[in-house]
Amino acid sequence: MDFEVQKTLLPEGVRYLCGTDEAGRGPLAGDVYAAAVILPDGYIPSGLNDSKKLSEKKREKLFDEICENAVSFAIATATPKEIDEINILNASLLAMRRAIAALSPSPDYLLVDGNIYRGFDLPGRAVVKGDALIPAIAAASILAKVARDRSLVELDKQYPEYCFAKHKGYPTPLHRELVQKYGPSPVHRMSFLKNILK
């Protein structure tokens, strides 16, 4: 991962570049998480990559390193209720906006993972596969993923019958079977369960 792609995307004079990404669009349960990160100019943590390409141990190590060295970072969520009301895409964008709003200093340009740039008050653009190309987006993907996984471990303690720590809320055969057996919990996304609960 280097800054060459990033350089081609940025206008002149950007001081605080924010990368943002989400984690948890596909699961049946839990909040969708987003992180926003401003990295120091020229700084790339060793081993930084798209969170999906890293082991859990490596993600945890990078999580701490990013939090210690970032100019600013924030993690935010949108709830299952919000996901059901406005759909997962809009809830993901909402969580991103919440994370960006919590940054200090405020960024002056955004790079958002994906192909949709909508509802942001700052100049910026979407970057397809940005989590594999842009250091700040990769950093945000790690913060969001680790924070979300940790939250599912906590939910597992509240609702042990669903084995959230094992499947992290994703629609695995085990998770589907447990939803059919016990019905939905308060942290399930009801709009995601229509086919399972037929």
Find the CATH number of the domain harbouring 151. 3.30.420.10
Q: For the chain, what is the mean pLDDT?
A: 95
Domains held by the chain: number: 1
**Residue 169 falls inside a structural domain:** no
Q: Let me know if residue 188 belongs to a domain.
A: no
pLDDT bin (cut points 50, 70, 90) of residue 3 is: low
Residue 182 forms part of a structural domain: no
Q: How far is CA 108 from CA 31, 41, 138, 144, in A?
A: 28, 14, 19, 21
Give domain status of residue 51, yes or no. Answer: yes
Residue 133 lies inside a defined structural domain of this protein: yes
**pTM over 0.85, yes/no:** yes
Closest by Cα among 126, 151, 125, 147 to 51: 147
pLDDT tens-place string over residues 26-83: 999 999 999 999 999 989 999 998 888 999 999 999 999 999 999 999 999 999 999 9
In a domain, 187, yes or no: no
- Domain span at residue 30 reads 4-155
Query: Which range is least confidently modeled, 30-34, 41-45, 103-107, 108-112?
Result: 41-45
Domain membership flag for residue 62: yes
58 assigned to some structural domain: yes
Q: Is 137 exposed, middle or buried (0-12, 13-18, 19+ CB in 10 A)?
A: buried
Residue 165 per-residue DSSP state: H
